[in-house]
Amino acid sequence: MIKKFLLCALACITLSTATADEGMWLPSLIKERVKDMRKIGFKLKADDVYSNEKPSLKDAVMQFGGGCTGEFISPDGLLLTNHHCGYASIQKLSSVEHDYLTDGYWAKSRSEELNVPGLTISILEKMEDVTDRIAAGESKDSIIAHASQGKGCRASIEPMYYGNRHYLFVYRVYRDIRLVGAPPSSIGKFGGDTDNWIWPRHTGDFSMFRVYADANNEPADYSADNVPYRPKRHFPISTKGVEEGDFTMIYGFPGNTQEYVTADAVEYVANVSNPMKIALRTIRLDIISEAQSKDVATRIAYAAKHANIANAWKKWQGESLGLERLGTAGKKEAYESSFALWAAGKPQYATLLDSMHTAYEKAIPGYFARELFNETVAGIEVYNFAAWLNAQHSKGTELTADLQAVGRKYYLNDYRVEIDKAIAKRMIAEFMERMPAENIPQELTAAIASNGGVEQYVEQLYAGTQLIDKHPLTIEEIVADPMVQLAAWFAPLTKKNSGYAYRNLSNVPSVEQWYREYMKALREWDKERAFYPDANFTLRVAYGTICGYENVDGEYHTHLTTLDGIMAKDNPEIYDYNIPQVLRDIHAAKDYGRWAIEHGGKKTIPVCFLANNHTSGGNSGSPVINGKGELVGINFDRTWRSTMSDIEFDPGICRNISVDIRYVLFVIDRVGGASYLFEEMDLK
């Protein structure tokens, strides 16, 4: 057994270093990677992965909401995504009387599926390289306008390689989405923030929805007359499981990587940005957690908010540790030195790195001010409502009662004024202490001084604002409101960043302009390197193998976790580890039915597994498929030591975490009592 284990571990390490597992590849160009993919177990053809002429795997994948991925698993529009991706929707449908977050929800028939207002999914119709069309004089606006024709169509042109190439993406957006099933949070969020980004993991991180369309299979607003959407393709589901060394492919919408940044950006992230953001979010999380511990309704109301704040907070901690462990900044400096020697003989590139360094020096203070503002003042809920009102008024928008109600519902959803006020006191104090004086509104400085300090000023601010009250205000009342006045004081600072979608420091226009030339130069110089475009929430393919890893010297983490691990963590006294009684009963009886496996000499249930696929935020909910195109899992996380992969991917240590599809099926069957859903799935 030990010999077999060591051989598997060695094989996994060898594969991860000998193959091009790194990368988030455009599916339309996947034919360039098929040879590599076949070496590690891929059995399909390139046009099975992506095709504009026939149904392909891309038609079974969608962007779920605004920042996750989902996949179709039946011909009747049934989809899977993560529990944490569906979390806000489940919360929206929950109440104290019907707490679907805590208890879960399972529709027993299609008539019981719950409409989720505002939730949309986007299915990619096609992608097209339009670089040459733009160079020939076609405008982006005209290309987008033409491509957007059609019911529910949405199109965009996205830059790749910092603008060296441009791709058109055309989506069909569906608006009638209904909740089918979700496990209780004690399964779907098992381990909570304690286990987030951690391995071993035992989280059943999945939820189920169904897409509905009109009679012609086209997007439509919610209607009782709508019918289940018929996707062009859905994933068959493998019940055979995965073994170390097996091929895996992830299809999804990763959000933001910056693999080609210089040492300047790495040092800023590791030494300035992350420490600041971690410290500020710790304060906000502590305030929210204390309030949640005292009241069930507050726990439900702030569950999604807490999760949203905590997710990046913990990720940044792991990212900083990973960058330090890998010595990423030093590696970047060495790489840049080699590039500089090559570039010295080429006038068009000789001063490129100097120009980039100067651009960073000028951009960093402003970018830091933006990040600090976002983590402090912009973390105050009622402030954001006030800023929206001020912006609408400044544009001349008529602030009708209905429009105010829409804004209030959006910005003050599940709102608790005492929590917000406590956060405001700490965040404004941190802003005043950390922000350079030139970026602090003089009016704010004066108001704090005249009130005798930050705490007194915030008390006066909340006592005076009428924005929290649920009645419409006159324009005069809005303009005179102290919270709106605060937003007006900050308007000059926030205006600097308006109209541009910042993803990271390298995306700042004054810096990004140099990256276009830098990427062009790198591809001329480093011809052996496989360059893939940074993630930007467009559809990508990543591939690799099922793989454990050596965590520390002498400690190897295997690729699979099981129900036995859940039972080892089970503790009714700890919220994150208090499992449903039904799981305890099933485990005690070893009554696993068709889902049982033999593992480590014991009968158990598989729960989660590891692979070395290159993933990022936005890949949450992505299908994990085997070499035959069958669904084997749902991606939901990375290991903590992998979070630096947005900047540097290390195949020896970077691992993505997925819930095993067999655990999903087990929970649907034995916990949810919804096995009728299997009738519409293609189980292998």
Catalytic amino acids? 84, 205, 620
* Contact predicate 652/612, CB 8 Å: no
Helix axes 274-292, 303-326, angle to 10 degrees: 150
Beta bridge pairs of residue 79:
72, 209
Alpha-carbon distance values, 605 to 153, 292, 666 (Å): 42, 33, 8
Q: Compute CA 594 distance to the chain's CA centroid, rounded to the nearest angstrom.
A: 33
How many residues does this entry show for the chain? Answer: 684
* Contact predicate 562/606, CB 8 Å: yes
Which pair of structure tokens corresponds to residue 334? 């060495």
Beta bridge pairs of residue 607:
none
For 223, residues 6+ apart whose C-beta sits below 8 A from its C-beta are 176, 214
d(CA 537, CA 558): 31
3-class secondary-structure state, position 218: coil
d(CA 597, CA 614): 28
Cis peptide before 533 (omega within 30 of 0): no
3-class secondary-structure state, position 171: strand
Alpha-carbon distance values, 557 to 60, 188, 199, 602, 656 (Å): 32, 23, 8, 19, 13
The identity of residue 253, as a single letter, is F
The identity of residue 467, as a single letter, is L
Q: Where are the alpha helices (DSSP H) in 496-619?
A: 509-525, 563-569, 581-589
d(CA 658, CA 207): 14
3-class secondary-structure state, position 367: helix
The tally of CA atoms less than 13 A away on the side-chain side of residue 558 is 16
528 burial class (0-12, 13-18, 19+ CB within 10 angstroms)? Answer: exposed
**Which secondary structure element, helix H or strand E, spans residue 211, and what is its range?**
strand 207-213
d(CA 500, CA 13): 42
Minimal CA–CA distance to 52: which of 152, 149, 121, 125? 125
3-class secondary-structure state, position 183: coil
d(CA 186, CA 165): 45
* Contact predicate 24/532, CB 8 Å: yes
Q: Where are the alpha helices (DSSP H) in 465-504?
A: 475-480, 482-495
Residue with tokens 């992350």: 274
Q: CB 298: neighbour CB atoms within 10 A?
A: 17
Give the torsion sign (CA, 671, 673, 677, 681). Answer: positive
What would the DSSP string read from start to end of 626-658? -TTS-EEEEEEEE-GGGGGGGT---TTT--EEE
Instruction: Return the HEC string of 67-90.
Output: CEEEEECCCCCEEEECHHHHHHHH
Which pair of structure tokens corresponds to residue 529? 């390197």
